[in-house]
Amino acid sequence: MFRILEKYLIGPKIQYARVLAPEIAKKARAGQFLIVTHGENSERIPLTLADWDAREGSITMVFQEMGKTTHRLGELKAGDSIENILGPQGQPTEIRNFGRCVVIGGGIGIAPVYPLARALSAAGNRVTAIVGYRSSQHVFWEDRMRAEAETLVLGTNDGSAGRKGMVTDFLKEILEGGGKVDRVFAIGPMPMMRAVAEMTREPGIPSVVSMNTLMVCGMGMCGACRVTVGGKTYFTCMDGPDFDGHAVDFDEALRRLSTYKAEENVCFEEYQRGRGYGCE
């Protein structure tokens, strides 16, 4: 059992949870994730490693309540326990001195961008962070991002905080500004990551995307998380989640992402009616 040390909302249905997990905290690296099981008979879901403290032995998860399982996790409080957390899973992001890096986070994807920006800065890179939120109500970790990035560009869809616009608008300004960009990292909704990859394709800027595919086992056995990159099949949980954005088949990935939407909706509706605990 993994005891929750601290838990609270940092935005509309956006939960912060700091959990005691010393063995995971010792090995955690930027780009990795967790497989979380809420309780007995619960489904296994992937959640981002948003932060960790090896000395304290804690890890931090930031997640949005979307379906049944994330809502059930959202009901837990400090002092409660999560039955099982597997991690750190996946390959860490390659970190070295690339030069000037642009890291882009959209929505809940801003959480994993934070440790990425921290690691890139520590490696000597000049980091520009672009973070995009739906509105001012959804803004979180602005202070953390400012502390790790040389330059922070914050925007919202409605202009209620920072600048009005999409992260791709701000990336376009940087690319057209004439300054050299050596590498781009994007984490967030799949359509956003695809748009970023298309923008950097012609100028030939290496671009890394963190794929949020369907995932069941998280250990390379079930094949649910497969993704096509450069015409070859990879498993996101073992080979990723980072891939070359210019080589990812995003059309296929987006189709696969919606495979179980109908079932997910039915399960969540039953949960809302106070039953449905057999839907896992």
- CATH code at position 111: 3.40.50.80
Average pLDDT of 115-131?
A: 98
Question: For residue 234, what are the β-bridge partners?
Answer: 227
Work out the pLDDT band at 275, boundaries 50, 70, 90. low
Q: Which residue, 71, 89, 107, sits at the end of a domain? A: 89
State the Cα–Cα distance between residues 175 and 178, nearest whole angstrom: 6
Same domain, 65 and 163: no
Say what the pLDDT of residue 42 is: 81
* Residue 246 is assigned to a structural domain of this protein: no
pLDDT level of residue 238 (50, 70, 90 thresholds): very high
- pLDDT tens column, 14-73: 999 999 999 999 999 999 999 999 877 788 999 999 999 999 999 999 999 988 889 999
Domain that holds residue 162: 94-210
Cβ–Cβ under 8 Å, residues 104 and 154: no
- Does 55 fall in a domain? yes
Residues 126 and 84 in one domain: no
228 within domain boundaries: no
**Average confidence score pLDDT of the chain:** 94
What is the structure's pLDDT at 273?
78
Q: CA 9, CA 212: separation in Å to the nearest integer?
A: 22
Last residue in a domain, options 178, 210, 242: 210
pLDDT value of residue 30: 98
pTM for this predicted structure: 0.94
**What pLDDT is stored for residue 280 in this prediction?**
47
Residues 204 and 121 in one domain: yes
